[in-house]
Each structure stands twice: as structure tokens, then as C-alpha cells.
A and B are shown apart, each in its own frame.
Chain A
Amino acid sequence: MAEPLLSASGIETGYGKVQVLWGAGIEVAERQSVVLLGANGAGKTTLLKVLLGLLPAWGGTVRLAGEDITALRTDHRVRRGLSYMSEIGVFTGLSIAENIRIGGQFVDSATLRRRTEELFEIFPDLAGRRSTLAGALSGGQRKMLGIAKALAAGPRVLVMDEPSAGLSPLFVSQVIAVLGKFRGTGLSLLIAEQNVAFLDLADRVFTLEGGRVGFSGTVEELNADDALHRAYFGLA
């Protein structure tokens, strides 16, 4: 089997003396949508931070497109095709258009202009308010802008940390619908979530429990496992 586009293996890390991840690993193949499930405190955000280089790995390796990027700085990883949409998301003091331009920092002007128009087609809510400050947007709109900003870089893998956080169910389904448009395109998705609604997008699921990967497989396999199904869907 070909090497996955993005992979992390044997990741150990933590904050100060507190170890959070104990040999966690994850794989995202080309064009694949992967959902990383886990409860609060399971280490999802920590694993994403290691992937992005926001937190150093004590042990283990991160590889992107065949290259070991474990020691690379965040901005260099972003330039190599990794894009991150965090919970913070957007620059509130800058306008919608400026946020998108920052996302596309190192993309040439013509491509960025074309891509911006494409993004405004996908996010019509944002198109009419290009010079509005991001701080004036609602939580859901900020989330959309966060996604648009991350996509402006033209990433190969879009990594998202809890896109559902703080959103009403209606907005959650809107976010899922938007992300669904990218599924199976040239873009790979890695979504850390505790909201199982996002499993609709998943080609593959990883679960994180106490800093270790518990389950890895398809949604069907997850559903087939009664104990896991109960744990994440909370159904009897």
C-alpha cells in the first residue's frame, strides 16, 4: 500500500511533566476524510498540535507526503500543504477579505484571486460582506470564514479542531454540508470531533482514549462494535 499523505506514529508528548499522548498514531490517505473521535481531554487537540508543529513531539515521527516533518516549523508545514483551522479560527480585527488573503499568504496573486472567488461561491454568506470585520461575525459565520481562510492556502490536508464547538445543531449541519463538498476532491480532511454527526463525512475513523489510539477503521466497523458504538453514540 502506498504511504499515506499524512501520518503520525508513536507520538509521545505532553505539557511540562504531564504526558498526554502515549504513542498515538494516525494516518490520512490522499483524498480521504478522517475523523478523530475522542472525549474531552482524550488528547485530540494535543495530537493536532503535534501534527502542526505547535507542540514538540517527545517521541515519534510526523510525515507528510513521504517527508519527515517532525522537526519543521509550523509555517513551513503549512507551506508544504498542511492547513489548520483551530478553535480560535479567525483574526477578528481584520476584514473577511483580509482573513482570506492571510490564509493565502504564499499563493501567487492570480491563483489567490481565482481561489477567493471560488471560496465566495462556496460561502455566499461571506461574499456580500468582504470588508466586514471578522469580529462582527456570528460564531457560525466565523467558523465558515475559518474554513475559507484555511482553504485559501490550497492545502493538501485540512486539519480541523472541533469545527462543531459552540455551534447550534443547525450550523453544525451547515458546516458538515460545506465540508461534504470537498469530500473526494483533491483535498484530504482530518477532523477532530466529539460530535458523531461528523462521522457522515468519514472514510476512516480513529478514536483516542487517554492519549492512545483505541480504534481505527471504517464507520461500519465502528458501528459493528457494540461497546464503541455505545461509548460514542451514547445509545443503549
Chain B
Amino acid sequence: MKLRVGDAVLAAAVVALMAVLPSVYSNELLLFNFVMFLTLSQGLNILYGFTGYLPFGYVGFFGAGAYGFAIAVMNYGAGPLPAMLIAAAAAVILALVLMPLLRLSGAYFAIASLAAAQAVYQVISNPALEQVTKGPYGVSLTGVFAPRLSYYVAVGIMAGTFALVVWLRNSRFGLALQAIREDTVSAGMAGVSVVRFRTVAWLLSALVAGLVGGVFAWHISVFYPDTAFDVGISIFATVFTLFGGATTLTGPLLGVAILYGVYNAIGITVPQYFQLIYGTLIVGLVMFLPNGLVSLLTRRGIRVP
């Protein structure tokens, strides 16, 4: 493995920044949301950027993680850290169950994954399961509420996810995944074990979303199925990744910094202008920079971390 220094430096800088910010800026929930989307968009990048599968239903893994955490705490009295493991396991198990989706491609895969996430949402929010999931009435985990600790755990998960992306960008495994994205048949002809590699990427991507979902449940501690399975989370993660440019570390980071920054600056106070600006940005991007902002540099042959 040949590590490009830029990748590691950029990842470390963002992690350090997010770790230090709470001591100088008081809106911790906003910072948490940034960490959450920085991580989710990289998690989505693992799947989309490296294998070409675009999961519109990515939020399904996030929701599974959030509810895995909540059920472990509510029904089994688990502490937050063991509950995080359950959150991860819930997302990975869901990914294993949904593996047949990988037989689809393109828009079919995207739509099927969205439908799958909706199906999980419907099950979780079913009033008949109130004993287990609290159904549509939402969960309250105030017993484990620890905003500062959960924030740092979220930063830790972000650091791990960045490390994963850096590894993918610098390893033969990641290169093999990109070969699969380019052309499945040719990748097989180059000796790449297509099915196995693709499965690993799928599970890793789900694991990231599950962990983020778990730490989200821990951090906000009161939420509803609509919150944990909000398709807006999928859309945000997807748009941020595509806006900045997939397969790079920089792209999704830029996407979150710019778009989520704009969202928080004006999206809540003057939503009508926000949507206008958002729409214009996205249409402009799709028309002029389909490979994201980073393609301004990469198409000139400049290497972007």
C-alpha cells in the first residue's frame, strides 16, 4: 500500500477540527449534525464512490442502527457502548438480508434500496410492535443521555470512517472495487473476485451508517421513527457526496461544508431562498460538473486527496 500523505493529513485535520470545535463553539447539536453528515456521506462514498451502487435507501441502515441502539437500551438495559455494538450489528444484519439487491444495478438498485428502507420503517413504526420498538410513539433514552461523550464517540466513528476511505483510496482492495465500478466483467477478467469484494463494500458502508445511527440515538436520546428513517437523511448524504465528488475524501467533505453550511445558515430562517439557492446549485452542478466540485481539479490532472 502506497499512502498518499495528502489523504491522511486532510482526514486528520478535519477530525482534529471537529474534536476541538465544541470548546470554542457552543451549539453542540449543530456540530453533532455536521459530524453525522461528514461520516454518513463518507459511508455512502464507500459504496457509491467505489462500487457505483447508489443507495437511496441508505437511511435504512442509519435507522436500523438508531433502533438497534434504542432497543438494546430500553428493553435490555444495555449501557451505551454495548448498545453501539448492537446498533452496528443491526445495520450489518439488515445489509446481509438485503444482499440480493446487489443483483440489481443503476436506478433499479437505487429504488429497491429506498423501498427496502421504507419497509423497515413501516415495521418499526407499526403500533402493534409498541412493546418492542414503541411503534410510532417514539423512544426516550434519557437514562443514557450524555451529549459530550456521545459527541466524541461520533467524532471517533468519523475518524474510523475517514481512515477506511483513505485505506480504500490507497489499497489494492479499493482499486479492485473501482475496477468493479468501471466494468464488472473486465474486473473479473483481471482476477478480481467481484461478488466477494462488492459484498465487503456493501457491509462496510452499512456498518458506518449503523454506527452513526446508533450514536445519533444516543446523542439526541428522544426520537421518532420519522426522524430515524427520514429519507431526507439519504438525500442529504447523497447530494453532499455527489456535489463534492465521489471516490475522493475531499469531495464529500466539501459537499457537507458548503451545502450543509448553506442549509444551516439560511435553510431554517428563510427556507424559500434556501431552496432556490439549493436547487440552483444542484442543477448547475449536474449540468456543468457531473463528477462534482473536485472534478474542476481532477480533470486538469491534479490529484485531489
Seen from chain A, the residues whose Cβ lies within 8 Å of a Cβ on chain B are: 52, 54, 73-75, 78-79, 84, 86, 88-89, 91-94, 98, 101-103, 105-106, 109, 131-132, 149, 153
A105 partner, pick from B182, B183, B186, B192, beta carbons under 8 A: B192
CB-CB nearest in chain B for A74 = B188
Chain B interface, >50% SS class: helix
Q: Is the CB of A105 within 8 A of B191?
A: yes
Q: Is the CB of A88 within 8 A of B190?
A: no
Q: Is the CB of A94 within 8 A of B182?
A: yes
Q: Is the CB of B178 within 8 A of A78?
A: no
Question: Within 8 Å CB of A109, what residues of B?
Answer: 1
9 other A-B residue contacts (CB within 8 Å) besides A79-B191, A94-B178, A109-B1: A88-B185, A91-B178, A91-B186, A101-B175, A102-B175, A102-B176, A105-B191, A106-B191, A131-B303
Question: Within 8 Å CB of A106, what residues of B?
Answer: 191
B189 at the interface (CB under 8 A from A): yes
Question: Within 8 Å CB of B183, what residues of A?
Answer: 88, 91
Question: Within 8 Å CB of B1, what residues of A?
Answer: 109
B193 at the interface (CB under 8 A from A): yes
| A132 CA / B301 CA spacing, docked (Å) | 7
B148 at the interface (CB under 8 A from A): no
| A149 CA / B191 CA spacing, docked (Å) | 11
B179 at the interface (CB under 8 A from A): yes
Question: Within 8 Å CB of B15, what residues of A?
Answer: none
B189 partner, pick from A78, A92, A93, beta carbons under 8 A: A78
The number of chain B residues touching the other chain, given as a range, is 20 to 34
Question: Within 8 Å CB of B301, what residues of A?
Answer: 131-132
Q: For window 159-204 of chain B, which residues contact chain A by CB distance below 8 Å?
A: 172, 175-176, 178-179, 181-183, 185-194
What are 6 pairs between A and B in contact, CB < 8 Å?
Answer: A73-B188, A86-B186, A91-B179, A102-B172, A105-B191, A131-B303
| A78 CA / B303 CA spacing, docked (Å) | 31
Most buried by B among A75, A78, A93, A103: A75
CB-CB nearest in chain A for B194 = A75
CB-CB nearest in chain A for B178 = A94
Q: Is the CB of B175 within 8 A of A98?
A: yes
CB-CB nearest in chain B for A88 = B186
CB-CB nearest in chain B for A134 = B182
A102 partner, pick from B185, B190, B303, beta carbons under 8 A: B190
As a 0/1 sequence over residues 245 to 267 of chain B, the CB contacts with chain A under 8 angstroms (1 = contact) are 00000000000000000000000
Q: Is the CB of A84 within 8 A of B189?
A: yes
| A149 CA / B192 CA spacing, docked (Å) | 13
B190 partner, pick from A92, A132, A149, beta carbons under 8 A: A149
A93 partner, pick from B176, B178, B185, B194, beta carbons under 8 A: B178
| A5 CA / B162 CA spacing, docked (Å) | 46
Question: Within 8 Å CB of B182, what residues of A?
Answer: 91-94
